[in-house]
Amino acid sequence: MKKFNVKQSTLLIVISVLTFYSLSFGSASAQSKDELSPVEQGIASIAIATAKGDTQLLNASLHAGLDAGMTVNQVKEELVHLYAYCGFPRSLMAINTLTEVLQDRINKGIQDQEGLAATDLNAGNKYEIGKEVLADLTGINNRPMAGYAKTVPVIEVFLKEHLFADIFKRGVLSYKEREIATVGALLTMGDLDPMARGHIGIAIKQGVTETQMNKIINLIETQAGSEKAYKGKLLLTELTTSSEPAFSSALSATENLIFPRGEKLDNPVFTGNAYLNSLITADEVNTTAAGVVTFEPGARTFWHQHPTGQIIISISGTGFYQEKGSPKRILKKGDTVKCPPNTPHWHGASDTEAFVQIAITDRSEGPTQWFDVVTKETYLSQK
């Protein structure tokens, strides 16, 4: 992995801060409901830097957030909130960085507004209060018990009593502002698609528009990289084009198929998350293998070829298939593909919808041959 030197790292931080200022103040005179306020942008930027664990970037983001009008107590409360999503180590490191920033600003004669102080929850049934908060956030009353709660029931108690009661009810930050921080942190940490998807939906429910969410994702691209931002765009597109409520658990329709989705593939020749349920394993007697492959939105194979070809049967969702030098095909339920032998090709899900296929491959002439990654440009190309 390429390492940045100090000058490169400093330049990246400067670019990030300039981007933040340009987003904050460049169109202040024409701010609309689709523009993030300077404070909201400050919250997003601080969350991204905290989740990333980049103290230099966080230092710059804290200064920018305070300059943009965040109160000291808003910043403190955000870092308390983020411990529930990033963990104590990231939160405590961020608070130490805030301590240095506040002292530096005092030394420079900058007087930041202290703002309203948080209020601890001292009375009431915390579990019931947490349930009410969650219902307010999602718009769903009496949510069914999640799978994790069935496995470890006490975690459900901790979530209700501590996260949604103790933390969300402290005030200082609105639910919308807390969700902006949460989405920024979850997308930056990565590999948390179910949680990130759920909180993007909650943020939308709390008033974050699609345009505003894209601005948050643009900040993630600047501060945390294009891969994290790309995943955010996929999840946002999935939610905003789905007929399902944006705040639902967004369980895939593939859960109801006859074949379970199987185990997650750790194969390095896949981009994104894919799962394999091996139906038939090739052996010396029967050289044909068959398996169900489930691709999450945006997931796909690398370029590859099969010595004896392959048959693909689409059973759910929307997928892409492309042979080298040929147009990309869109696959829907019931579509089939007969891939010729030794023909470089790739296949996977669309960028907005999961895709499930049955792949039938004869292994008699040897294993699959893998080539290069399918670039983002090729994947999203209309050709």
**What is the CB-side half-sphere exposure of residue 44 using CA atoms within 13 A?**
34
* Number of C-beta neighbours around residue 333 at 10 A: 13
Provide Rg for the chain, Cα atoms. Answer: 24
253-380 under CATH 3.90.190.20, yes or no: no
Rounded distance between C-alpha atoms, residue 38 and residue 18, angstroms: 13
Domain ranges of the chain: 6-118+171-240, 253-380
Mean pLDDT computed over 363-377 = 89
- Lowest-confidence region among 37-46, 134-143, 205-214, 218-227: 134-143
Mean pLDDT computed over 80-91 = 90
Confidence of residue 231 (pLDDT cuts 50, 70, 90): confident
* Number of C-beta neighbours around residue 134 at 10 A: 19
Q: What is the pTM of this model?
A: 0.56
In the numeric block, the tokens 């930056």 are attached to: 188
What class does CATH assign to 6-118+171-240? Answer: mainly alpha
Confidence of residue 258 (pLDDT cuts 50, 70, 90): low
Q: In this predicted model, what pLDDT tens digit does every residue of 37-48 receive, in sequence order?
A: 899 999 999 999
Residue 342 reports pLDDT greater than 80: yes
Type of residue numbered 223? Q
In the numeric block, the tokens 């999203």 are attached to: 380
- Look at residue 146 in the predicted model and tell me its pLDDT: 73
Residue 246 reports pLDDT greater than 50: no
Rounded distance between C-alpha atoms, residue 175 and residue 183, angstroms: 12
- In three-state secondary structure terms, 84 is helix
Dihedral sign for Cα atoms in the order 249, 314, 324, 342: positive
Task: List the structure tokens of 2.
Answer: 């390429």
Task: List the structure tokens of 125.
Answer: 């049934």
Q: What are phi and psi of 190, to 5 degrees?
A: 80, 165
Q: What is the dihedral of CA 329, 331, 337, 341, to 10 degrees?
A: 50
Rounded distance between C-alpha atoms, residue 159 and residue 129, angstroms: 11
Task: List the structure tokens of 217.
Answer: 């994702």
Rounded distance between C-alpha atoms, residue 277 and residue 255, angstroms: 13
Bridge partner residues of 291 (DSSP)? 278, 359
Within 26-71, where are the H helices? 38-52, 55-67
Rounded distance between C-alpha atoms, residue 86 and residue 90, angstroms: 6
Q: What is the dihedral of CA 120, 126, 130, 132, to 10 degrees?
A: -110
* Number of C-beta neighbours around residue 58 at 10 A: 28
Task: List the structure tokens of 184.
Answer: 């920024």
Q: In this predicted model, what pLDDT tens digit does every residue of 325-337 receive, in sequence order?
A: 999 999 998 999 9
- Which is nearest to 124 in space by CA: 92, 173, 81, 161? 161
Within 87-209, where are the H helices? 88-107, 126-138, 147-151, 153-158, 175-189, 193-205
Residue 382 reports pLDDT greater than 50: yes
Query: Percentage of the chain with pLDDT > 90?
Result: 37
